[in-house]
Structures are given as C-alpha cells and as structure tokens.
Amino acid sequence: MTPKRDFKKNPSTKFKDVDDLGKQEAKDEIDALREGIEFHDHKYYVENDPVISDSVYDRLFHRLQELEEAFPEYRSENSPTRRVGAEPLDELNRVEHTAPMLSLHAALEQEAFDEFHESVRQQAKNDTVHYVLEPKFDGVSVEIIYEEGHFKEGSTRGDGHHGEDISRNLRTIGAVPLTLQEPERFPPFLAVRGEVFLPREGFQATNRERVERGDKPYANPRNATGGILRRLESKIVARYPLDVFFYDILKIQGQEFDTHWDELRQLREWGLKIDPHMARASSKKDVAAYHERLGAERDDLPYEIDGIVIKVDDKALWEQLGTRHRSPRWALAWKFASREEITTLEEVVVQVGRTGKLTPVALLQPVDVGGVTVSRATLHNEGEARRKDVRPGDRVRIARAGDVIPEVVERVPQPGKERAEAFRMPRKCPVCGTEIVREGAYHVCPNGLRCQPQLIGRIFHYGSRSAMDIEGLGEETARDLVEKGLVTDLADLYALSVDDLLQLEGVAEKTAKNLHEAIQETKRPRLDRFLYALGIRHVGERVATILAQEFQSLDRLRKAGLDDLKRMPDVGPEIARSVHTFFEEAENVRVLKRMQRLGVDVQDMPEAPKRQPLQGKRFVFTGSLEGYTRSEAEQAVERLGGRATSSVSGETDYVVAGEEPGSKLDDAKTEGIEILDERQFEELLSR
Ligand code: IVH
C-alpha cells in the first residue's frame, strides 16, 4: 500500500506516472491534493502567509488537473481546479435565501448612534451594552451555503428574500473556501453572509483597462464588484482579484452561539475570512473612538469601507430587540462623511502627460469632499468627456475614492438652464501646437522631443537608473531645466555648463559641478542602454538589448529597413514600426546629430560570441549582487545565449543568490536547482 500523502507542510512534488496509477490510488491522491491545495489557498488568500512557493503550488495544481483529466469519474464542482472558471451560462438562476438578508439602518451623525445606544440600553434593562464593531465594507453582500463543510451554493442579496445564483463565480475567489477547515468540527449546514469586494488596486486597474478599451469606467468598487459577480462567464470572473470578508451567520445546524463575537471566532476557525479590524467595545466613548480611528485609516486600507457597523454582541438580546421591516434593531451602520459632492464646473482644460497622452480635466469650484478640497477632476479621455457631456456652468457630481484622482461622476441636470458649448478635443496640442494623433481611446501629441511636459518626462527618463544613470537628474531638476529654457532637447544636456546649472533652484557650486560631471561621464554609452534611454515608444530594456545585439551599432540600426526590423524574433510589427519611425523623424535625426557633435559617442555592442556557452540555460536572480545591477547581470547572461527569468520553475538551471536573497532561494532549494553565489556566477561567465 502506498502511504497517505500529505501536501501541507512540505509537499513532495515527485509523482508517479499517471498510467501507472490504479483507480483507488488515483482517488486517494486526488483527495490529498485537493485538501493540500485548499490548505495552501487558505494560507495564501485568507491568512496572507503562504508556506510554499508559487512554483510548488503550481505543480500541485497541475498534477491535480492531470489526474482529473485522466480519471474524469473523480471530477468535482468543488475541486480547486474549478477556481479557474467554467463554461458560460445562459442566465443566472433565481434562488431563495435561507433567511432574509436584512439591511442596516444607517446613521451619519454621532447623535443617531447615541439614540440607538439609549434604546438598546432600555430594552436590555442594563446600563452596559457590549458591542462588536466592524468596518462597513463597500462591496456586494452574498450568501454562501456549506453542506457538510462543502461549498454548496452562493447568491447575491437581490431583494433580501431572493437573489441570483452566482456559485460558479464565487468559486473563483481564492478566499472563498471550497471546503471548510477543521473537518471534524464543521456543521451539517451553514449559511454565512459576507461582502465580496474588489480591492482598491484591482478596481483602479479594472477601470484603467475599461477606459483604454473605450468602455465606461465603474463609478465605484461596489458597482465594479456587482458587475463582475453577475457575469455569466466565470472564466472571466476568475481574472479579477475579488476578495471577501464574512460577518454573519444566516443559519446554522447543530451549534449555537451566545455572542456574535463567538460566531466570528468560529467562522475564522473554519477558514472563513474575517477582517482583522473587528473589535469589541462596551462604552459610547470606545465606539466613537473606533469610528474616528477607522475613518482616519480609511485611505490607507487596501479596500474601500464607508463607515462602521455596530452590533450588539449578546445574541439573546438580538431576539429580544427583534427587527423592523427590513433592518434589525440590534445593529447600526454609522457612516463616514460622503466622498461625493456636487459643485459647479468652471472649465474643461486639456492636460498633456509625460507620455504625450491628452487628458481632459474639469476645473471646479473648490469643494470639500470627505475632508479634502477638490478643485480638479479627471474626465479620462474624449469618449468619457463626451459621454458625461459636462460643460462650463454645469452642476456636477464629484467622487473621490481613497488616493485615486477625483473623478466627475455625472452631470446634475438643471432643467431650463442655458448651457455652454459641448467639449471637443483640440486638434492641436495645447502645449506645443503639434497636430494631435489618435491612439485607441486616447489622443496623443506626437511631438515627443519638444513638447514641454513630454520633454521633462524624457529627460528624467534619460537620466534614470537603468537608462544613463545620471546622478542628480531627478524629476524636479528635469522640470527646472526645461522650464528655465536651459534644455529644449536631449542634446542640450551635453551643452550645459556648470554656470548654467547654477541657475537651477537650490543648486550650489558643488551640486552643479557634480551634475555636470555626471552628465559628461555618460558620453560613451553602450548601445543597448542608449536605445532604452532615448525613450522610443515600445522600446523597454529587453527590446533595447535585442535590437542592440542584432544591429550592434547605432549606425546600422538607423539604416535598418522596416522589413529588417520586422524579421527579428521577439520584435512585433508595432515595435518595428515605432523604431523605424523614430529614426526617420527629422527632429530626431537632428537631435541625434547634435548629440554626436557635442561628443556623444555611442559604443558598439561587443560582437556576440560565436559560441553561445549558456545557450538555452535559464537563470533566476535573487538578492543584490555587488558587481552588477540586476539588469547588467541579466544582460551578461543573455549575451552568452542564456535567458533570465523572474521566477523559479522546473525549467530553471541556475539560481544566482546575492545579498539578502528572497523566497526564490528557498524555491531553488526545494527544487534542488543549482545555486550560485556571485563568485561562482562570475566564474561561469568567464569560463
Ligand atoms: S451586517 C442584518 N456587517 O452593508 C445585518 N453588513 O445595508 C446584516 N455591510 O447590505 C448586515 N459591511 O452588504 C453587516 N460588517 C458588516 C457589513 C455589512 C458591509 C453591508 C451589507 C448590507 C449593507 C447595509
């Protein structure tokens, strides 16, 4: 008999060939894998404390997929492999909730809480009331049913009595357990309530993508979550980083709790994610302090909350207090000040960003939105500005979500009021007057080297660490150089004297000399770095290296035809076109010539060695090396035919560990991959 496998602490990923497995053996391994993967999902998504590396996890996951493929009779809806989503549905089914999903009575002011507190005290016939305090999550409320510890069904709140069956979508959320932890102790039936939400970062990324595609951005994370959760294709839902917090038991069999706090504790034991901010209080003062503390922390949390929820702790008292029509008398939502306000739009201006992107911006009559004065709000792009159709003089609703740039949500109609002209994107760049071009949903000023905001961005990029690495040429200095007219293109950098630099804000003799020297020292750049530093659209470090290795000299690259560029592996047509256009553009030709006259001599790439001693070898770097920056080390490997990748996998040949290595070193050890220190790495390079 094969010993029972445990995939929890230190899982072995050596597996038997699938063809050699008997049925029972396969079933046992599948069960063990599912339990192990669920355990690691819990560690990762709920506790935020993973105990195995991504690559080991991936291998467990793939093994399970492989076994389910080979033994379809053991497939299950509740297998972790189903988290990647299933085939689209035609529609969502309506389901009845286990118990009514009530809503909360909401208060905005301290007085409303005082009243609530008084009425609870009277009913309880007790001066002291114990409360549980919770954040009020700004997401979508769901019911999830577990039968015998297994996920059975999940639904939206709907009208409180009936909701929509979104089981498949909920299964894709890593923090939603498919099987509860502590299998010995879970109840035969459990219906829990929680809030699904899209963390701030995921919300911003989702909206960025939507705007780029020309779709309407979601007004807030709650709408975004609602929209995603009701999608019919769970494979798409699986792509969003949805998360969840549980906060209530709707119904349970075989167990009773005296307090809400005990309920929460038990939910956590079962692996259901509970927000760590949950707290207890027994006085008005403590409740008010919690409201204030969370209100202050609000912007720093990775998810949106819009108030606190105050719940009576004693469950016997819940019974006694009862419910109103739709909300219980034992709980209260005490909201924070709104982050939406209405104000007057004064003007729409167009802002040019560092990359040349044009953004319509609404200038507003300043208004206090949740403690921050807002006088500008973004309209994203022309499509959005048109859709919202806001014009000077209009009343508009403004929203601010955490650290996101305030946004114009919508126009507040004022019937009968005469309105100004509709907004139109200018045909010419408002900064430099160049004819604007269209790129997808955006308008872009193509005058990259001369248009002021773009020039500032470019100069800053040129001097940045992985480009020319000019110490002291930060964003502020770049701005000052451009605004004082000292630099009108990249070539001007090399014409700057120490006296010129002394004109900069807060720059004294020593700094000026150092900066001057730092610039002059970059006069013999290597081709790959120089190409990257030029900031050609779509040419990042990797593409710059590929181009430099292929063409070896700036001259050869400049003369390359579009077809030569397109023929290169790893260089798509878009990149090829961008490089070609860059070197054709008259202004760029002029600037490059001038750089040359000022002494900039771009070094040819060393001839790629004929023999590629590291051909096909994959490297992963972790920690910092003394003699190389990360990108230098990667280039060294690539010059010899090797490849640098970012994570350890079964295909990795070497892991190079410098000072303070990260978890990749552990991965390498687990996987038995050869580990090199810096000296051994250098030896390998010079061999
Ligand atoms: S308890 C009967 N706790 O706020 C009590 N709700 O109407 C049921 N919400 O629809 C709700 N955070 O979606 C509770 N910690 C929390 C909550 C919370 C957010 C939502 C819930 C509800 C809405 C209020």
CB 203 less than 6 A from any atom of ligand 1: no
Cα separation of 452 and 454, whole Å?
A: 5
Please tell me the distance between residue 82's alpha carbon and the centre of ligand 1 in angstroms.
Answer: 28
Write out pLDDT tens, residues 86-115. Answer: 888 889 999 999 999 999 999 989 999 999
What DSSP state is assigned to residue 659? B
Q: How many CB atoms lie within 10 A of CB 135?
A: 25
Mean pLDDT value of segment 528-537: 92
Asked if residue 325 lies in contact with residue 344, where contact means CB atoms within 8 angstroms, the answer is: no
Asked whether residue 669 carries a pLDDT value surpassing 80, the answer given is yes
Amino acid (1-letter code) at residue 516: H
Mean pLDDT value of segment 454-477: 92
Cα separation of 465 and 563, whole Å?
A: 32
Write out pLDDT tens, residues 125-164. Answer: 988 999 999 999 999 999 999 999 999 999 999 999 999 9
Q: Looking at 108-220, list the stretches that DSSP marks H as alpha helix, in order from N- to C-terminal side.
A: 110-124, 167-171, 200-213
Percentage of the chain modeled with pLDDT above 90: 66
User: Is the CATH number 3.30.530.20 carried by domain 106-333?
Assistant: no
Note the CATH number of domain 618-686. 3.40.50.10190
SS3 string, 479-531, reads HHHHHCCCCCCHHHHHHCCHHHHHCCCCCCHHHHHHHHHHHHCCCCCEHHHHH
The predicted pLDDT at position 463 comes to 95
pLDDT-derived band at 390 (thresholds 50, 70, 90) equals very high
Task: Classify domain 477-597 by CATH architecture.
Answer: Orthogonal Bundle (1.10)
- The tokens describing 567, both together, are 């023929």
pLDDT-derived band at 677 (thresholds 50, 70, 90) equals very high
The predicted pLDDT at position 210 comes to 85
Domain range summary for the chain, segments of one domain joined by + = 106-333, 342-442, 477-597, 618-686
CB 328 less than 6 A from any atom of ligand 1: yes
Q: What is the mean pLDDT of the chain?
A: 91
CA distances in angstroms from 515 to 6, 235, 477, 510, 596, listed in the order given: 60, 53, 10, 9, 20
Residue nearest to ligand 1 atom 21, measured at CA:
141
Cα separation of 655 and 621, whole Å?
A: 6
Please tell me the distance between residue 338's alpha carbon and the centre of ligand 1 in angstroms.
Answer: 17
Write out pLDDT tens, residues 13-22. Answer: 889 899 999 9
What DSSP state is assigned to residue 144? E
In the block, residue with structure tokens 């009701």: 230
Asked if residue 196 lies in contact with residue 175, where contact means CB atoms within 8 angstroms, the answer is: no
In 3D, which of 457, 582, 455 has the Cα closest to residue 531? 582
The predicted pLDDT at position 369 comes to 87
Write out pLDDT tens, residues 168-212. Answer: 999 999 999 999 998 678 899 999 999 999 998 899 889 888 887
Asked if residue 11 lies in contact with residue 33, where contact means CB atoms within 8 angstroms, the answer is: no
Would you say the CATH fold of 618-686 matches that of 342-442? no
Cα separation of 440 and 444, whole Å?
A: 10
Residue nearest to ligand 1 atom 16, measured at CA:
136
Angle subtended at Cα 504 by Cα 502 and Cα 510, rounded to the nearest 5 degrees: 45
Note the CATH number of domain 342-442. 2.40.50.140
In the block, residue with structure tokens 């978890």: 663
Mean pLDDT value of segment 495-515: 95
CB 466 less than 6 A from any atom of ligand 1: no
More confident residue, 576 or 403: 576
Please tell me the distance between residue 321's alpha carbon and the centre of ligand 1 in angstroms.
Answer: 18
Cα separation of 183 and 214, whole Å?
A: 48
Mean pLDDT value of segment 481-487: 94
Contacts 24+ apart (CB under 8 A), 63-72: 63/13, 63/15, 63/29, 63/33, 64/30, 64/33, 64/34, 64/37, 66/18, 67/18, 67/21, 67/26, 67/29, 67/30, 67/33, 68/30, 70/18, 70/21, 70/26, 71/23, 71/26, 71/27, 71/30
The predicted pLDDT at position 194 comes to 98
pLDDT-derived band at 3 (thresholds 50, 70, 90) equals low
Provide φ and ψ at 253, rounded to 5°. Answer: -110, 145
Q: What is the dihedral of CA 573, 575, 577, 582, to 10 degrees?
A: -170
- The tokens describing 659, both together, are 């000072």
Write out pLDDT tens, residues 313-325. Answer: 999 999 999 998 8
Mean pLDDT value of segment 507-522: 95
Write out pLDDT tens, residues 283-305. Answer: 999 999 999 999 999 888 999 99
Mean pLDDT value of segment 625-637: 84
CB 287 less than 6 A from any atom of ligand 1: no
DSSP-assigned states of every residue in 588-634: HHHHHHHHHHTT--PBPPPPPPSS-TTTT-EEEEESB-SS--HHHHH
Give the number of the atom of ligand 1 that is nearest the alpha carbon of residue 333.
24
CA torsion through residues 669, 675, 678, 680, sign: positive
Cα separation of 341 and 400, whole Å?
A: 9
- Give the mutation target among 273, 294, 309, 325 for probing the ligand 1 site: most ligand atoms within 8 A of CB: 309
Write out pLDDT tens, residues 229-261. Answer: 999 999 999 999 999 999 999 999 999 999 999
The predicted pLDDT at position 1 comes to 47
Asked if residue 444 lies in contact with residue 489, where contact means CB atoms within 8 angstroms, the answer is: no
Please tell me the distance between residue 264's alpha carbon and the centre of ligand 1 in angstroms.
Answer: 14
- Give the mutation target among 108, 134, 136 for probing the ligand 1 site: most ligand atoms within 8 A of CB: 136
